[in-house]
Amino acid sequence: MAYGITVEETGGVELYRFGRSKQIFRGPKPDLSAPYLTFIGGSETFGKFVLEPYPKLVENRIGITCVNLGTPGAGPGFFLKDPVVLEACSRSTRCFVQVMDVAPLSNRMYAVFPRRNMRLRSVSGALRSLYPQVDFTGFRYISAMIRKLKSVDGEAYKVVLAEQRSAWLARMLELLLDIETAKTLLWIRPEGGKDLNQSVTQEMVDVLASHVENIVTIPFDVSENRGNGLSGLRKDTGWMTRAVHADIARVISDELQALQPQKRPA
């Protein structure tokens, strides 16, 4: 399995299989004998274009094992299919759950593959009826299909988006309920760039608030920096540079420090 890295940060990415899970995650393989934190999410959490993604940078800052279970292109359904990962998250001191995209998730319009959520598995009759002018046989990836649907009929796509959002909320709620430990919802939110994916709204995140201990929202202005110096990037992840990962790690580390119980003066 090959993942991209930045031009500046050339080098290999260490991967491993987590217990009985069939999925490959980013190494080094963690030691779970001591208290640890878990991080689940998509390409941003995995750190597709950097050698040290923000979970590793948090570990460097606080000295506690941080298990990076992020997977490129994953939606919330990816983790619901893996009991080994859910168990590891539930045994952690705290689990950081990234606000993932709504597209890589099976719904009533289309289905994705369980371990390759960005791969299109099938299209429903409802979507074909909504877009009779579109030939769906040539699509392998969700992202390409979504771009086509938006360009062909923006009004019809609102129906698709509503279904995506409904399925996303249901699966995110299920995921949060299945993780039996303290949970932080992490919303890494790019702002200001053209054609950015803004499919998750504040109202959707607010629905999840009662199912987590806290929400950390980290907005980034990406209008000036959309991943300059990187090659072959998709527009929705090219802004996740080394500096952005460092900023995320700082915010999370500060949040963890604030959550620590304060010692009473003697």
The predicted pLDDT at position 227 comes to: 47
Q: How far apart are CA 96 and CA 110, in angstroms?
A: 28
- Pairing relationship of beta strands 110-112 and 182-191 according to DSSP bridges: unpaired
Structural domain boundaries in the chain = 15-105+181-259
The predicted pLDDT at position 9 comes to: 47
What CATH number is given for 15-105+181-259 in this structure? 3.40.50.1110
Sign (positive/negative) of CA torsion 50, 55, 58, 63? negative
Kindly list the averaged pLDDT for each block of 10 residues, start to end, along the chain of length 266.
Answer: 43 76 84 94 88 94 95 92 92 97 96 92 97 95 95 95 97 97 95 69 96 94 57 53 92 90 53
The predicted pLDDT at position 20 comes to: 76
CA triple 168-176-27, angle to 5 deg: 95
Q: H-helix or E-strand containing 157? A: helix 154-178
Decide: 82 and 76 in contact? Cβ < 8 Å.
Answer: no
Q: How far apart are CA 79 and CA 112, in angstroms?
A: 14
Decide: 109 and 164 in contact? Cβ < 8 Å.
Answer: yes
pTM score of the predicted model: 0.88
